Chains A and B, each alone.
Chain A
């Protein structure tokens, strides 16, 4: 995409964030109240189709542009990004792996935001080790019958449609050869369990999805062939990691912004604390982390956009940027002193929201393992 449109897009997002998102963040976060008003605005802005191809009514944005949008929003309030982010990962699974008929049927409705949802991989007993999932889909004539429970599913309550990872052959060896992805819309046999209470990432619904004899037509199997689900889900994670990295960078940037301002206003011993060297060292490290995170994301996104394999780069970006979010929010807490603990400032929200970025889309432990594996693979002795 040309740079002019990028600039216009980011300008528009910035304006929207300052006018509509930032002002409601504290209230919705503290009340753990879903920001319904933002959903309509996101729909009008086109965010539900951000990365979906233009031929399906989406905007067809590159991962690079998309990551900048995510960072811009997360720098004010990270949580609302989840409303369209996991929705877009579901859409990406269909766009990359779906049949022509599936793309034509689902993508326009996803792009317009008429049908919204997310992605259901994690189960109570299987997160990192996704091949250990127990949800099964059994073929019965022209339908599949799905049984099992998913947990931690973003948009679980307010979304209607989910890409759900199941086992179509629980006995398969290797285990992933028996895994498939289905598109499931809420209905008989597919209900929402409880809304989960969380430390941060509040206002956005994370919920249990319960499948109890849920029947779906066979054409809901993404790609139309059994046994592809694990690979399909794993490929979606590359984009997912760039997204989480972008959120981490946003949190890091937002924390820096708050800290920079506060450090120039708060005075001790007759001068603004920004004049004390100990605070300057923190500010310098924080700003450096923000820039480094941005560059890693830019590099990973460029590689993703060019169609190259990017798990090493996306892994590094995700690892570094999410840790930058955690470190910067903690450093900002220190800079705010006692007021960091006040719920009348935003910095405590950044501090609570940041750690999720180290967990989602593959924990940072797993990112390190992926990076190391790629290193060894690319540099044999």
Chain B
């Protein structure tokens, strides 16, 4: 069975205006809309397209998080994933612990390809995919904007600062999805109903033998400084004068 494993994370919906708690201990999550991390949705979409092209037999989604994360797994099943794995855990999971958990799931599922989002929009760590590849001792291709598979390799176009770079990696491998890889489908309503009946397996975090101990201490959360109001200039002359006045130009 050719299987793709897709890691997904629940995050605060990207449309929500995030507020910092008054005491700086974190951000307000009560009553806030939660959704699949957008990059993970792109990762899942890519896996589904590969399967639809005949490049895989099964797409399995996995998440680590509290009990009600099942909602986001159901959304992923409605998009088209065949099965879901839920590693039940309350509290934060740092990228390294997340990667270790995913490695356990790789042992269990034996995928030929693992696709993750390049980062989750909550902490913007951009580490899990890279750490997972290292732990698994398999190649990685991050920030993918295009993925083409052969029987034994993946050709991945990556968005890097200088432009586009194309890598060829041996499978199995870890690929992380960038924004332009694809545009995820909107879910068909009948599939939302069908998703209720798809298999969703819960795995207690404690059974996996991975430590969730924090290695990073969060000191304080604060909102970004309010931006100063800009001024409008009529033409380049005025612009230059304004820059001179601020000492930005001699």
**Which residues of A are interface residues toward B (Cβ below 8 A)?**
4-5, 7-9, 11-13, 15-16, 19, 44-47, 49-50, 54, 59
* Chain A nearest Cβ from B149, distance in angstroms: 27
- Spot the interface stretch: B56-64, B120-128, B186-194: B186-194
**A4 near B71: Cβ-Cβ < 8 Å:** yes
Known: A5-B192, A45-B189. 16 other contacts (CB 8 A): A4-B71, A4-B74, A8-B74, A8-B78, A8-B187, A8-B192, A9-B189, A11-B187, A12-B187, A12-B188, A12-B192, A19-B183, A46-B188, A47-B189, A50-B189, A54-B193
**For the complex, is B145 an interface residue (Cβ under 8 Å from A)?**
no
In angstroms, Cα B78 to Cα A45, docked, is 12
* Chain A nearest Cβ from B188, distance in angstroms: 6
**B192 near A9: Cβ-Cβ < 8 Å:** yes
**For the complex, is B75 an interface residue (Cβ under 8 Å from A)?**
yes
Query: Which chain B residues in 176-192 approach chain A with CB under 8 Å?
Result: 183, 186-190, 192
**A59 near B186: Cβ-Cβ < 8 Å:** no
Kindly report which residue of chain A lies nearest to residue B191, judged by CB atoms.
A46
**Which residues of B are interface residues toward A (Cβ below 8 A)?**
35, 71, 74-75, 78, 183, 186-190, 192-193, 196
**B196 near A15: Cβ-Cβ < 8 Å:** no
**B186 near A12: Cβ-Cβ < 8 Å:** yes
In angstroms, Cα B186 to Cα A209, docked, is 36
In angstroms, Cα B5 to Cα A112, docked, is 33
For B75, list chain A residues within 8 Å (CB): 8, 11
**A16 near B192: Cβ-Cβ < 8 Å:** no
In angstroms, Cα B189 to Cα A9, docked, is 6
Kindly report which residue of chain B lies nearest to residue A20, judged by CB atoms.
B186
In angstroms, Cα B141 to Cα A145, docked, is 70
Kindly report which residue of chain A lies nearest to residue B192, judged by CB atoms.
A8
**B193 near A44: Cβ-Cβ < 8 Å:** no
Kindly report which residue of chain A lies nearest to residue B13, judged by CB atoms.
A11
Q: List 20 A-B contacts (CB under 8 A).
A: A4-B71, A5-B192, A5-B193, A5-B196, A8-B75, A8-B192, A9-B192, A11-B35, A11-B187, A12-B186, A12-B189, A15-B186, A19-B183, A45-B189, A46-B190, A47-B189, A49-B190, A59-B189, A59-B190, A59-B193
